[in-house]
Amino acid sequence: MIAGAFVSSLLGMAWVAVAERLRAALRALRPLEPAGGEPPPPGTLCIVVPARNEEEGIEVCVRSLLGQEGVRHEVIVVDDGSTDRTAEILASIGKDAPAGRFRTLRCGEPPPGWIGKNHACAQGAAAAEGEWILFTDADVRFEPGTLRADLDRASGLDFLSLVPTIECPPVLGALFLPGLCLGIWSTFPPDRVNDPKDPLALGSGAFLLFRRKTYDAIGGHGAVRDHIVEDISLARRSKAGGHRTALLDGRAYLHTRMYETFPEAWEGITKSAFGGCDFSFPRALVAAGSLALVALGPPLGLLLAVATSSASLPLWALPLLAQLVALGRLSRGAGLSLLFLPLVPFGLAIWSAGILASALRARGEGVEWKGRRYYAGGTGIPREASLRG
């Protein structure tokens, strides 16, 4: 009875804290506002899109960028050794793209010590011209007016990143998106990220907008060549260098189709999770264990109390209720229907397993992404300071 009361109280308090932290995080994430009626912002924008086997989404991405109005911009797509129809699709786009607005580059295999995406971005940046440079992913769709609103907001900044809407099948979303949101917003609260006095920084790979001089000053992608979570690393370098940075809610403007199948989602977790733990095995163990405990503790405790007819049964109502409130906020923040709420705890447990798998792979066979393997045997893992500042 005493042990059950103690454990249930701890789990209840943990989920109350999680729910409050999520509420504060989502409230602090300010939305990107539409552009006003002022003249177009000065300066030219160059958008760099690294693409490796992106035949499913590259055309929608590029055409949504070419259709943007109110800014002077060019799109450079860097074909990173694609073996599918990516090059064919890009050639077709190039036939009817406005003159001077679209280019494609093809880069070979990355040199030793480079992540493939970072190498492709560096190649695109070397070819880019203009005051602003934007890096985005090949599966992102831009709503009309996005670039104009971005440049209006970035006029007083050196680096701007936007959080996109993540789209995926409902069941897969319930299993993976709440865990992603929980990990991000509990580690990188937006109020701290947007506080210039706080070293904590966060960037979303779907949208990384730099003043060109800022990008060059922090060393560009060459400075993070071996970072699999380069978006966070670039954001941190920008903020640590004294540059003006901001993270905003861009879900009304950006849409990314991340995963369609469970294997794709699992590969995404195991690719990035260990990097998100600063490549620290102890930190990964703590993160995985804590996540499994808070995710499965309340339902398993309730089931155990029922099975043993324990007198602590009523006490499990608190952690279960707190968990439901927090997971409901997580689900709404991820754009999910509450109908899939029962799947979320299992999704968090999958994330726990994914963190461990990511750490073990990086120390063993290596992390695989887009047909390339990195960090095999622990070699090449970045040794820089914490991503958390």
- Indicate the pLDDT class of residue 225, thresholds 50, 70 and 90: very high
DSSP H helices in the chain = 2-28, 58-66, 86-96, 116-127, 146-154, 170-187, 190-193, 212-217, 230-240, 262-276, 281-307, 317-333, 344-363
Would you state the pLDDT for residue 5? 46
Tokens describing residue 36: 């006003």
Backbone angles phi, psi at 187, to 5 degrees: -90, -35
Read off the pLDDT of each residue in 37-64 and give the average, rounded to a whole number: 89
Angle, CA of 120, 124 and 127, to the nearest 5°: 145
Rounded to an integer, what distance in angstroms lies between the CA atom of residue 202 and that of residue 324? 28
pLDDT at 185: 86
Residue 250 sits at φ, ψ, to 5 deg, of -110, 20
Tens digit of pLDDT for each residue in 182-219?
A: 888 888 999 999 999 999 999 999 999 999 999 999 99
Q: Which tens digits make up the pLDDT trace of 126-166?
A: 999 989 999 999 999 999 999 999 999 998 999 999 999 99
Is the per-residue pLDDT at 11 higher than 90?
no
For residue 211, report the phi and psi dihedrals to the nearest 5 degrees: -65, 140
Q: Where are the domains of the chain?
A: 2-25+264-378, 31-169+187-258
10: exposed, middle or buried (Cβ count in 10 Å: 0-12, 13-18, 19+): middle
Q: What is the percentage of the chain residues whose pLDDT exceeds 70?
A: 87
**Pairing label, strands 140-142, 132-135:** unpaired
Give residue 386's pLDDT: 46
Q: Which letter, b or e, does each residue of 321-339 get, where b requires 16 or more Cβ atoms within 10 Å of its Cβ?
A: ebbbbbbbbbbebbebeee
Q: CA-CA distance, 49 to 51, in Å (whole number)?
A: 6
What would the two tokens of residue 370 be?
Answer: 């887009």
Q: How far apart are the first and last CA of the chain?
A: 43
pTM of the model: 0.90
Fold of 31-169+187-258: Spore Coat Polysaccharide Biosynthesis Protein SpsA; Chain A (3.90.550)
Average pLDDT, the chain: 87
